[in-house]
Amino acid sequence: MRISREIKIGLVFFITLALFIWGLNFLQGRSFYKKQLEFFAVYDRVDGLLPSNPVNVNGLQVGKVVDLYFASDTSAKIIVKFNVADNLLIPRNSIARIYSQDLMGSKAINLKLGTSSEYCVNGDTLSASIEEGLKEEVNKQVQPLKRKAENLLLSIDSMVTVIQYVFNEELRDDLTRSIASIRRTINNLESTTYKIDTLVQTQESRLAEIIDNIESITKNLSNNNENISNILYNFSAISDTLAKAKISETLLTTNQTLRDISSVLQRIENGEGTIGMLINDDSLYNRLVGSAGELNLLLEDMKLNPGRYVRFSVFGKSDKKTPYVPPGEEPVDDKKKKKRKD
Protein backbone atom coordinates (compact mmCIF):
# COMPACT_ATOMS: atom_id res chain seq x y z
CA MET A 1 0.00 0.00 0.00
CA ARG A 2 1.51 3.17 -1.17
CA ILE A 3 1.14 6.31 0.98
CA SER A 4 0.25 9.28 -1.02
CA ARG A 5 2.32 12.36 -1.10
CA GLU A 6 -0.38 14.43 0.61
CA ILE A 7 -0.49 12.08 3.59
CA LYS A 8 3.28 12.28 3.99
CA ILE A 9 3.15 16.07 3.95
CA GLY A 10 0.35 16.02 6.53
CA LEU A 11 2.29 13.67 8.85
CA VAL A 12 5.40 15.82 8.60
CA PHE A 13 3.31 18.90 9.38
CA PHE A 14 1.71 17.34 12.47
CA ILE A 15 5.07 16.04 13.75
CA THR A 16 6.65 19.47 13.26
CA LEU A 17 3.71 21.14 15.03
CA ALA A 18 4.00 18.70 17.94
CA LEU A 19 7.73 19.34 18.24
CA PHE A 20 7.13 23.09 18.10
CA ILE A 21 4.49 22.92 20.88
CA TRP A 22 6.74 20.69 22.99
CA GLY A 23 9.72 23.00 22.54
CA LEU A 24 7.64 26.05 23.37
CA ASN A 25 6.31 24.42 26.52
CA PHE A 26 9.81 23.26 27.43
CA LEU A 27 11.15 26.77 27.06
CA GLN A 28 8.27 28.03 29.19
CA GLY A 29 9.04 25.46 31.85
CA ARG A 30 6.14 23.16 31.16
CA SER A 31 6.54 19.41 31.03
CA PHE A 32 4.30 16.85 29.53
CA TYR A 33 5.76 14.08 31.63
CA LYS A 34 5.68 15.65 35.07
CA LYS A 35 2.74 17.18 36.85
CA GLN A 36 3.49 20.74 37.96
CA LEU A 37 1.87 23.27 40.29
CA GLU A 38 1.24 26.90 39.42
CA PHE A 39 1.91 29.75 41.85
CA PHE A 40 1.75 33.51 41.63
CA ALA A 41 3.66 36.43 43.13
CA VAL A 42 2.97 40.16 42.91
CA TYR A 43 5.89 42.60 42.48
CA ASP A 44 6.29 46.34 42.16
CA ARG A 45 9.10 45.74 39.65
CA VAL A 46 10.77 42.67 38.20
CA ASP A 47 14.18 44.13 37.17
CA GLY A 48 14.42 42.21 33.90
CA LEU A 49 12.82 38.90 34.93
CA LEU A 50 11.69 37.00 31.83
CA PRO A 51 9.58 33.93 31.11
CA SER A 52 11.54 30.68 31.28
CA ASN A 53 13.88 32.12 33.94
CA PRO A 54 14.53 29.45 36.57
CA VAL A 55 12.88 29.08 39.96
CA ASN A 56 15.37 27.77 42.55
CA VAL A 57 15.31 26.47 46.08
CA ASN A 58 18.71 26.64 47.81
CA GLY A 59 20.38 26.84 44.39
CA LEU A 60 18.52 23.83 42.91
CA GLN A 61 16.17 24.53 40.00
CA VAL A 62 12.64 23.31 40.78
CA GLY A 63 10.64 25.19 38.14
CA LYS A 64 10.48 28.04 35.66
CA VAL A 65 8.77 31.38 35.20
CA VAL A 66 5.73 30.95 32.94
CA ASP A 67 4.32 34.42 32.43
CA LEU A 68 4.50 38.08 33.57
CA TYR A 69 1.66 40.61 33.20
CA PHE A 70 0.16 43.67 34.88
CA ALA A 71 -2.51 43.09 37.50
CA SER A 72 -4.90 45.48 35.70
CA ASP A 73 -4.93 48.31 33.23
CA THR A 74 -4.83 50.90 36.02
CA SER A 75 -2.35 49.12 38.30
CA ALA A 76 1.45 49.09 38.05
CA LYS A 77 1.69 45.85 40.00
CA ILE A 78 3.22 42.96 38.04
CA ILE A 79 1.98 39.42 38.51
CA VAL A 80 4.53 36.66 37.93
CA LYS A 81 3.27 33.18 37.22
CA PHE A 82 5.68 30.28 37.73
CA ASN A 83 5.54 26.49 37.91
CA VAL A 84 7.25 24.15 40.35
CA ALA A 85 7.31 20.37 40.66
CA ASP A 86 4.32 18.93 42.45
CA ASN A 87 6.49 16.91 44.84
CA LEU A 88 7.84 20.10 46.47
CA LEU A 89 5.97 21.16 49.60
CA ILE A 90 6.00 24.94 49.96
CA PRO A 91 5.00 26.39 53.39
CA ARG A 92 2.51 29.24 53.30
CA ASN A 93 4.99 31.76 54.77
CA SER A 94 7.52 31.16 52.01
CA ILE A 95 8.88 34.10 50.01
CA ALA A 96 9.45 34.30 46.24
CA ARG A 97 12.46 36.56 45.89
CA ILE A 98 13.84 37.90 42.61
CA TYR A 99 17.65 37.98 42.58
CA SER A 100 20.61 38.20 40.20
CA GLN A 101 22.03 34.76 39.61
CA ASP A 102 25.23 35.93 37.87
CA LEU A 103 27.32 39.02 37.22
CA MET A 104 25.61 39.53 33.86
CA GLY A 105 22.40 40.38 35.66
CA SER A 106 20.36 37.31 34.71
CA LYS A 107 17.36 37.15 36.99
CA ALA A 108 15.78 34.22 38.73
CA ILE A 109 13.32 33.50 41.51
CA ASN A 110 14.59 32.02 44.75
CA LEU A 111 11.97 30.35 46.94
CA LYS A 112 12.89 30.97 50.57
CA LEU A 113 10.92 28.25 52.30
CA GLY A 114 9.21 29.21 55.52
CA THR A 115 8.53 27.31 58.72
CA SER A 116 4.73 27.13 58.62
CA SER A 117 3.08 23.78 59.14
CA GLU A 118 0.50 24.62 56.42
CA TYR A 119 1.50 24.25 52.77
CA CYS A 120 0.49 26.10 49.61
CA VAL A 121 -1.85 24.51 47.11
CA ASN A 122 -2.04 24.94 43.35
CA GLY A 123 -2.84 28.56 42.40
CA ASP A 124 -1.80 30.23 45.67
CA THR A 125 -0.04 33.60 45.74
CA LEU A 126 3.25 33.77 47.61
CA SER A 127 4.84 36.71 49.38
CA ALA A 128 7.25 38.57 47.09
CA SER A 129 10.50 40.47 47.54
CA ILE A 130 13.30 41.79 45.34
CA GLU A 131 16.99 41.48 46.05
CA GLU A 132 18.91 44.62 45.26
CA GLY A 133 21.16 44.27 42.26
CA LEU A 134 24.89 44.53 42.15
CA LYS A 135 24.68 48.14 41.08
CA GLU A 136 22.38 49.05 43.95
CA GLU A 137 24.57 47.17 46.42
CA VAL A 138 27.67 48.94 45.17
CA ASN A 139 25.92 52.29 45.29
CA LYS A 140 24.75 51.56 48.82
CA GLN A 141 28.30 50.73 49.91
CA VAL A 142 29.96 53.52 47.96
CA GLN A 143 27.51 56.29 48.84
CA PRO A 144 28.63 56.66 52.50
CA LEU A 145 32.26 56.59 51.37
CA LYS A 146 31.47 59.26 48.80
CA ARG A 147 29.87 61.49 51.43
CA LYS A 148 32.83 60.96 53.78
CA ALA A 149 35.27 61.73 50.96
CA GLU A 150 33.40 64.94 50.14
CA ASN A 151 33.41 65.98 53.81
CA LEU A 152 37.09 65.11 54.04
CA LEU A 153 37.89 67.22 50.98
CA LEU A 154 35.95 70.13 52.46
CA SER A 155 37.84 69.72 55.75
CA ILE A 156 41.18 69.56 53.93
CA ASP A 157 40.28 72.64 51.93
CA SER A 158 39.35 74.53 55.10
CA MET A 159 42.50 73.32 56.83
CA VAL A 160 44.70 74.43 53.92
CA THR A 161 43.03 77.83 53.97
CA VAL A 162 43.62 78.17 57.70
CA ILE A 163 47.22 77.03 57.33
CA GLN A 164 47.84 79.54 54.58
CA TYR A 165 46.34 82.26 56.74
CA VAL A 166 48.09 81.30 59.98
CA PHE A 167 51.51 80.20 58.76
CA ASN A 168 52.93 83.63 58.07
CA GLU A 169 56.61 84.51 58.21
CA GLU A 170 56.57 85.36 61.93
CA LEU A 171 54.86 82.09 62.81
CA ARG A 172 57.33 80.14 60.67
CA ASP A 173 60.19 81.76 62.61
CA ASP A 174 58.48 80.84 65.87
CA LEU A 175 58.08 77.25 64.66
CA THR A 176 61.76 77.15 63.72
CA ARG A 177 62.73 78.34 67.19
CA SER A 178 60.30 75.87 68.76
CA ILE A 179 61.79 73.00 66.79
CA ALA A 180 65.29 74.08 67.86
CA SER A 181 64.10 74.21 71.47
CA ILE A 182 62.59 70.74 71.13
CA ARG A 183 65.89 69.50 69.72
CA ARG A 184 67.76 70.95 72.72
CA THR A 185 65.22 69.37 75.06
CA ILE A 186 65.76 65.99 73.42
CA ASN A 187 69.53 66.43 73.78
CA ASN A 188 69.08 67.27 77.45
CA LEU A 189 66.90 64.19 77.88
CA GLU A 190 69.57 62.06 76.27
CA SER A 191 72.19 63.55 78.60
CA THR A 192 69.93 63.00 81.60
CA THR A 193 69.25 59.38 80.68
CA TYR A 194 72.98 58.83 80.21
CA LYS A 195 73.65 60.26 83.68
CA ILE A 196 70.89 58.11 85.16
CA ASP A 197 72.33 55.05 83.45
CA THR A 198 75.81 55.90 84.78
CA LEU A 199 74.38 56.47 88.26
CA VAL A 200 72.59 53.14 88.19
CA GLN A 201 75.77 51.38 87.13
CA THR A 202 77.90 53.06 89.81
CA GLN A 203 75.30 52.60 92.54
CA GLU A 204 74.33 49.10 91.52
CA SER A 205 75.58 47.59 94.78
CA ARG A 206 73.68 50.13 96.87
CA LEU A 207 70.53 49.57 94.85
CA ALA A 208 70.96 45.83 95.43
CA GLU A 209 71.28 46.49 99.17
CA ILE A 210 68.18 48.66 99.12
CA ILE A 211 66.26 45.97 97.30
CA ASP A 212 67.53 43.39 99.80
CA ASN A 213 66.40 45.63 102.65
CA ILE A 214 62.99 46.05 101.07
CA GLU A 215 62.77 42.29 100.61
CA SER A 216 63.80 41.83 104.27
CA ILE A 217 61.13 44.30 105.37
CA THR A 218 58.46 42.53 103.35
CA LYS A 219 59.65 39.18 104.74
CA ASN A 220 59.43 40.56 108.28
CA LEU A 221 55.95 41.87 107.54
CA SER A 222 55.01 38.45 106.22
CA ASN A 223 56.50 36.69 109.25
CA ASN A 224 54.76 39.09 111.64
CA ASN A 225 51.49 38.97 109.84
CA GLU A 226 49.80 37.40 112.86
CA ASN A 227 51.17 40.07 115.20
CA ILE A 228 50.04 42.80 112.83
CA SER A 229 46.62 41.19 112.70
CA ASN A 230 46.52 41.16 116.52
CA ILE A 231 47.55 44.84 116.63
CA LEU A 232 44.85 45.74 114.13
CA TYR A 233 42.38 43.69 116.14
CA ASN A 234 43.41 45.55 119.31
CA PHE A 235 43.00 48.88 117.52
CA SER A 236 39.59 47.73 116.36
CA ALA A 237 38.68 46.72 119.92
CA ILE A 238 39.89 50.11 121.22
CA SER A 239 37.88 51.93 118.57
CA ASP A 240 34.82 49.84 119.47
CA THR A 241 35.34 50.66 123.16
CA LEU A 242 35.68 54.35 122.34
CA ALA A 243 32.58 54.15 120.20
CA LYS A 244 30.65 52.52 123.06
CA ALA A 245 32.00 54.98 125.67
CA LYS A 246 29.89 58.02 126.51
CA ILE A 247 32.40 60.37 124.93
CA SER A 248 29.75 62.83 123.86
CA GLU A 249 28.43 63.15 127.43
CA THR A 250 31.99 63.55 128.73
CA LEU A 251 32.68 66.24 126.15
CA LEU A 252 29.46 68.02 127.11
CA THR A 253 30.43 67.90 130.79
CA THR A 254 33.93 69.14 129.95
CA ASN A 255 32.48 71.97 127.88
CA GLN A 256 30.19 72.93 130.76
CA THR A 257 33.14 72.89 133.19
CA LEU A 258 35.20 75.04 130.83
CA ARG A 259 32.30 77.47 130.57
CA ASP A 260 32.09 77.64 134.38
CA ILE A 261 35.85 78.21 134.66
CA SER A 262 35.61 80.90 131.99
CA SER A 263 32.80 82.54 133.96
CA VAL A 264 34.88 82.46 137.16
CA LEU A 265 37.89 83.92 135.33
CA GLN A 266 35.68 86.61 133.85
CA ARG A 267 34.42 87.53 137.32
CA ILE A 268 38.00 87.61 138.63
CA GLU A 269 39.00 89.83 135.71
CA ASN A 270 36.06 92.14 136.50
CA GLY A 271 37.30 92.45 140.11
CA GLU A 272 34.50 90.47 141.71
CA GLY A 273 35.24 88.43 144.86
CA THR A 274 38.31 88.31 147.04
CA ILE A 275 40.62 86.94 144.34
CA GLY A 276 39.39 89.56 141.86
CA MET A 277 39.95 92.35 144.36
CA LEU A 278 43.38 90.96 145.25
CA ILE A 279 44.39 90.84 141.59
CA ASN A 280 42.84 94.10 140.44
CA ASP A 281 43.11 96.32 143.64
CA ASP A 282 46.70 97.46 144.41
CA SER A 283 45.72 98.95 147.74
CA LEU A 284 44.80 95.54 149.16
CA TYR A 285 48.14 94.22 147.96
CA ASN A 286 49.96 97.16 149.57
CA ARG A 287 48.09 96.61 152.82
CA LEU A 288 49.01 92.96 152.84
CA VAL A 289 52.65 93.87 152.19
CA GLY A 290 52.59 96.42 155.04
CA SER A 291 50.96 93.95 157.40
CA ALA A 292 53.56 91.34 156.51
CA GLY A 293 56.34 93.88 157.23
CA GLU A 294 54.89 94.80 160.63
CA LEU A 295 54.48 91.13 161.45
CA ASN A 296 58.14 90.57 160.63
CA LEU A 297 59.11 93.50 162.92
CA LEU A 298 56.98 92.08 165.72
CA LEU A 299 58.55 88.66 165.38
CA GLU A 300 62.05 90.20 165.38
CA ASP A 301 61.21 92.20 168.52
CA MET A 302 59.90 89.07 170.20
CA LYS A 303 63.22 87.41 169.47
CA LEU A 304 65.22 90.37 170.80
CA ASN A 305 63.06 91.22 173.84
CA PRO A 306 61.08 88.18 174.85
CA GLY A 307 60.68 89.61 178.33
CA ARG A 308 58.28 92.18 177.08
CA TYR A 309 55.85 89.52 176.12
CA VAL A 310 56.56 86.54 178.44
CA ARG A 311 57.75 86.88 182.09
CA PHE A 312 58.94 84.19 184.44
CA SER A 313 59.28 85.15 188.16
CA VAL A 314 60.43 82.94 190.96
CA PHE A 315 59.21 85.28 193.68
CA GLY A 316 56.03 86.37 192.19
CA LYS A 317 54.62 88.36 189.39
CA SER A 318 56.04 91.84 188.77
CA ASP A 319 53.82 94.63 187.61
CA LYS A 320 56.64 96.45 185.83
CA LYS A 321 56.22 96.33 182.12
CA THR A 322 58.74 97.18 179.49
CA PRO A 323 57.26 99.32 176.76
CA TYR A 324 57.61 98.31 173.18
CA VAL A 325 60.49 99.88 171.31
CA PRO A 326 60.91 99.35 167.60
CA PRO A 327 63.99 97.38 166.61
CA GLY A 328 67.08 99.57 166.34
CA GLU A 329 66.02 101.92 169.11
CA GLU A 330 67.30 101.34 172.74
CA PRO A 331 65.14 102.03 175.83
CA VAL A 332 66.04 104.93 178.17
CA ASP A 333 66.90 102.61 181.12
CA ASP A 334 69.35 100.67 178.99
CA LYS A 335 71.09 103.95 178.06
CA LYS A 336 71.41 104.92 181.74
CA LYS A 337 72.86 101.54 182.60
CA LYS A 338 75.49 101.97 179.93
CA LYS A 339 76.47 105.41 181.31
CA ARG A 340 76.86 104.03 184.83
CA LYS A 341 79.11 101.30 183.60
CA ASP A 342 81.26 103.88 181.89
pLDDT tens, residue order, the chain (342 aa)? 566 777 878 888 888 888 877 777 666 555 554 578 899 999 988 888 888 889 999 888 888 898 898 988 788 889 999 989 888 889 999 999 998 887 777 889 999 998 988 999 988 999 998 887 556 666 677 778 888 888 888 888 888 777 776 666 677 777 788 888 898 899 899 889 888 888 888 878 888 888 888 988 888 888 888 888 888 888 888 877 766 666 777 778 888 888 888 888 887 777 777 777 767 767 767 777 888 888 888 888 877 877 777 665 555 555 455 555 555 555 555 555 555 555
What confidence score (pLDDT) does residue 40 get? 93
- Is residue 13, in this structure, part of any structural domain at all? no
In a domain, 151, yes or no: no
Q: How far apart are CA 171 and CA 187, in angstroms?
A: 24
Question: pLDDT tens-digit profile of 285-315?
Answer: 777 788 888 888 888 887 787 777 766 555 5
Q: Does residue 60 sit within a domain?
A: yes
Question: Which tens digit of pLDDT belongs to each residue from 202-211?
Answer: 878 888 888 8
Q: Is residue 221 part of a domain?
A: no
User: Mean pLDDT in the chain?
Assistant: 79
pLDDT at 270: 77
In a domain, 215, yes or no: no
**Domain termination residue (choose one: 131, 161, 188):** 131
Number of H helices, E strands in the chain: 9, 7
Q: Which has the closest alpha carbon to 68: 91, 92, 96?
A: 96
Query: Of 77, 102, 131, which residue sits at a domain end?
Result: 131
- Indicate the helix (H) or strand (E) that contains 40: strand 36-43
What residues make up the domain containing 86? Answer: 34-131
| Boundary residue ending a domain (101, 131, 161) | 131
In this structure, how many other beta carbons lie within 10 angstroms of the beta carbon of residue 111? 23
269, part of any domain: yes
CATH of the domain at 75: 2.40.30
Q: So what's the pLDDT on residue 41?
A: 92
CA distance 142 to 132: 14
Q: How many domains does the chain have?
A: 2
Dihedral sign for Cα atoms in the order 130, 134, 136, 142: positive
pLDDT given for residue 263 in this prediction: 83
DSSP state of 4: P
Please enumerate in sequence order all residues whose Cβ is within 8 A of that of 265, keeping only pairs 6 or more positions apart, or say none: none
CA 119 from chain centre, in angstroms, equals 56
State residue 81's pLDDT score: 92
Identify the pLDDT of residue 26.
Answer: 64
Q: In the prediction, which pLDDT does 266 show?
A: 81
